[in-house]
Amino acid sequence: MWPRTPLGGKAIDVADLKKGARITGNTRDKLAADLKKKYEKGSSIRALAESTGRSYGFVHRVLSESGVQLRGRGGATRVKKK
């Protein structure tokens, strides 16, 4: 499960934040660390976005900010005909 973060004296799940709500400070740092760990274990950006309720762009940006080496797009590559 996602890390529980104290916010105003109350512990909340990062995944429970409203869609589009700003995530800053400690909460963002903890989310970034968790996303980084999951991405490095093989989760896709799309899967992470869906599980957190955030957009693909948000997850991509957070991973980039945390210094993750992003993987290539994957999928089949086209071979040129001779």
Q: How confident is the model at residue 80 (pLDDT cuts 50, 70, 90)?
A: confident
Residue 49 lies in a domain: yes
For residue 43, give its domain range: 25-66
| Cβ pair 21, 10 in contact under 8 A | no
Closest by CA to 63, choosing from 48, 74, 77, 51, is 48
Sign (positive or negative) of CA dihedral 3, 10, 67, 71: positive
pLDDT tens digits, 50-65:
999 999 999 999 999 9
| Cβ pair 71, 48 in contact under 8 A | no
Residue 51 lies in a domain: yes
Q: What is the pTM of this model?
A: 0.70
Separation of first and last alpha carbons in the chain: 51
Tokens read off for 65? 């900010």
pLDDT tens digits, 9-53:
444 455 556 777 888 899 999 999 999 999 999 999 999 999 999
Residue 15 lies in a domain: no
Residue 31 lies in a domain: yes
